[in-house]
Chains A and B, each alone.
Chain A
Amino acid sequence: MKMAHSSMVVALFVLATTASAFGDVAVWYSAVGNNPQSGVEAGAGPLQRLNLTCDTSAAAACSWVVTMNTNIQGGLTGYGTNLFTSPGNGVAAAGAANVAGATGNPFPGALPGVGGTGASLLTGSAGFTFAAPGTGNLQLITFTLTRNMNAGDLSVASISASHGDGDWGNADPAFSDAFGFDRAVRYGPSTALNGSAFDDNGNLRVGDAAVIQITGVPEPTSLTLLGLAALVIGRRRR
């Protein structure tokens, strides 16, 4: 486990170095739990996946306020993103809102998107600007993410991102970028996507790795009991 963790850190470092070289736009998600059973694992940032935990012993659904973040060195004239997940997995999004007041946010009139479930978990988050393009880290939108789970359900729900209606426009075509008029975009740990919303066949471009993952976990009491049981077994063996 420790070995795997080290490998992941190295891999992330390599990805971060590559992203910097190509000036890719990084998109990542951060979250705050709305109740005790809604956990957030530390460490989510550029080129990373946000890992959430849901204590399935609780009566209420797990719930988080999730923020969509970008790092747009080189400037950005617009964006568009949808989120999707597997249907029927108990995950829903609602209450999307622009972070219009965020420092440096150049998209005050953006569309926050519409929440839902399954393939339409969050659709239509998009904005653009003719004003001076933004740079640096931005918070674009927030929304409430929920997951309903049955007691003892330890299943994993993955959420992925695709482009939405809007292009991830390049503020400066002379800026070193793989796709000219459009920025190269990385959703979480995904490889870079052309920032033009649709491909030649009219399909939205899709990130190739999950950006958010929600994992069901046993309640703390069960964990304690399991720990005690292990302790007892260990003592008996001695």
Chain B
Amino acid sequence: MRKTSIVLAAGIVASLSTIASAQSNYFFDIRNTVGAINTPALPFSSTPGQGLAWTGGPSWPNDGLAGGGKGNGQILRICPPLSNGAHNTVAGSSFGNSWPNIDADNDCSTGDLFLYADVGADDAGTNGVISSIGLDIAIGAPSTRYVIASSAWTWTLTDATTPVNFGFAAGTPQGPGGQLGVSGIKYVKVPVSGASTYATAGGLIQNTFTQLGRLRVTAAPRNATGAATGCAQVTGANPHANQSTYNVSMNVNNLLITRTYSTVTTPASVDEIVSFGYTGGAPDVTTNGSTSGPAPGVRDAVIQVRLKVDFNGDGRATAADVPAMSAATGVAGASTSQSTRYLGDLNGVVGAPAAAPITAADIPAATALVNAMLGGGLCP
């Protein structure tokens, strides 16, 4: 039924309009609203643009203070549940209350990457509107350390306008349970009203910055890949945390990404030119929305599965993390990076944005977590 709708709508798009060149950027951010990105609050600074360009290696997930603009929330951190359930009982409250907890589900093992579209005006025609979005989202191959158990896509773009010549699909998991991402994500909406009259309000997106949907990922328990690998303690140049970090990348699928117009002024420009993600504060290199297949450029987001308190990234919360946790305690919000806030904020109580997000009130939960590891052998 859904597939039929998509095919039908795509057919209407093709018959009604001419596709022209344009520019739109699609990027992930852990912040859940356009407002949160346009008016960033700590731990995002007011500096626009991504603070750190990724050129390889582990530097991005272990970020410093990032900027606050578009593309600065491309790192999602989620925690692997402990097999003895201690992550839900530490100090009487779950880690789910701790930062980022943007999904408000009281569980730090799940998190969302929200997908935004930043669509610019295009002088190739008038009344241009994005009418179809077809995406595949890939997550890097599973590691033998902490792994992603599943991922799922949900469209948040609404269809309140009429007429409702639209169709959408949430895609199908790539790999078991979606641990490798979701493919076949599709949405098409035709800018028409009444008897096939062109109406921009009927389209998907017109020259604006809006949220499209979310990729929800869930971390597997820390013993999911066994004692000798998942629960192992890995130090050195490529520690456990780096081996539990996954690249997320998007590409155009066979629905394509297209823009339609009521009147075309530059017929020669028929394709929507798109880019995925930001790098170094600017949209990543472009690709053609009319061509499906792998997109060029760097990764579009990062998912790191990491235990709270594991400051040294060796895969366990231990006495070796105490100095870093202590050093982060009482530091003002403006000087606390996203990664430090994730690792050290266990109670989710941050007070005013500029207040220290990690305080003495977080120490009991951190203590309980380390104690849970002490008494649980290798794989709690």
Contact = CB atoms under 8 A, between A and B. Distances in A.
Nearest to B364: A130
A198 B230 CA distance: 12
B57 interface: no
**Main DSSP-derived SS at the A contact region:** loop
A171 B374 contact: no
Contact of B378 (A77, A127, A200, A202): A202
B177 to A, nearest CB: 24
B185 interface: no
Interface string B293-335: 0000000000000000000101010111111111000000000
Given A130-B363, A198-B232, A202-B231, A169 B319 contact: yes
A127 B374 CA distance: 7
B323 A171 contact: yes
B323 A169 contact: yes
Interface stretch (B7-15, B111-119, B283-291, B365-373): B365-373
A113 to B, nearest CB: 11
Contacts of B226: 202
B229 interface: yes
Contacts of A79: 319
A77 B325 CA distance: 12
B328 to A, nearest CB: 12
Interface string A194-209: 1111111111000000
Contact of B323 (A165, A172, A179, A194): A172
A165 B321 contact: no
Interface string A96-120: 0000000000000101000000000
A196 B233 contact: yes
A170 interface: yes
B319 A128 contact: yes
A78 to B, nearest CB: 2
B322 A171 contact: yes
Contacts of A77: 319-320, 322-323
Among A129, A172, A182, A202, chain B packs the most CB atoms within 10 A around the CB of A202
Contacts of A167: 316, 318-320
A46 interface: no
**Main DSSP-derived SS at the B contact region:** loop
Contacts of B232: 198-202
A181 B321 contact: yes
Contacts of A109: 371
A109 B364 CA distance: 13
A169 B375 contact: no
B53 interface: no
Interface in A20-66: none
A124 B322 CA distance: 20
A130 B325 contact: yes
B319 A202 contact: no
Contacts of A180: 235, 312
A196 B314 contact: yes
A130 B318 contact: no
Nearest to B363: A130
Contacts of A179: 235
B375 A181 contact: no
A172 B323 CA distance: 6
A216 B361 CA distance: 55
Contacts of A126: 374-375
B329 to A, nearest CB: 9
B360 to A, nearest CB: 9
B227 interface: yes
A172 B160 CA distance: 58
A212 B145 CA distance: 36
A127 B367 CA distance: 11
Nearest to B327: A173
Given A79-B319, A181-B235, A181-B314, A202 B374 contact: no
Contact of A168 (B312, B319, B324, B373): B319
19 contacts: A77-B322, A77-B323, A78-B322, A127-B374, A128-B370, A128-B374, A130-B322, A165-B373, A165-B376, A165-B378, A166-B370, A170-B323, A171-B322, A196-B318, A198-B231, A198-B232, A199-B232, A200-B233, A201-B232
Given A133-B322, A169-B321, 13 more contacts: A77-B323, A109-B371, A111-B375, A130-B322, A130-B363, A130-B367, A181-B321, A194-B235, A195-B320, A198-B316, A198-B378, A202-B226, A202-B378
Interface of A: 76-80, 109, 111, 124, 126-130, 133, 165-173, 179-182, 194-203
